[in-house]
Amino acid sequence: MKFIIGKKLDMTQVWQGEKVVAVTKIQAGPCPIVQVKGKDKDGYSAVQLGFGEKKEKNIRKPQKGHLAKCQMNLRYLREFETDSKDLKVGDVIDVNTFTPGDAIDAIGISKGRGFQGVVKKYHFHGHNKTHGTKDQVRMPGSIGATGPAHVFKGTRMAGRMGGERTTIKNLEIIEVDKDNNVLLVKGAVPGARNGLVLIQGEGELKVRTGEEDVKREGKDEDTGKQTTEKKQESEKAKKQESESNS
CATH number at residue 20: 2.40.30.10
Beta bridge partners of 6: 28, 197
Phi-psi label, residue 67: left if phi above 0, alpha if psi -120 to 50, beta otherwise: alpha
Give per-residue pLDDT as tens, 140-191: 988 887 888 899 999 999 999 999 999 999 999 999 998 999 999 999 999 9
Based on the domain organization, do 99 and 131 belong to the same domain? Answer: no
Domain identity same for 170 and 145: no
pLDDT at 218 over 60: no
Model confidence, pTM: 0.75
**Separation between Cα atoms, residue 5 and residue 196, nearest integer Å:** 7
pLDDT recorded at residue 135? 86
pLDDT tens digits, 71-130: 788 888 999 998 877 888 888 999 999 999 999 999 999 999 999 999 999 999 999 888
**Based on the structure, what is the number of domains in the chain?**
3
Same domain, residue pair 93 and 2: yes
Q: Which domain holds residue 219?
A: 209-246
Of the candidates 156, 155, 152, 153, the one whose C-alpha atom is nearest the C-alpha of residue 120 is 156
pLDDT, residue 225, reads 57
Residues 69 and 31 in one domain: yes
Longest CA pairwise span in the chain (Å): 110
Q: Do 184 and 224 have their domain in common?
A: no
Interior angle at CA 125, CA 123 and CA 129, nearest 5: 150
145 plus 103 within the same structural domain: no
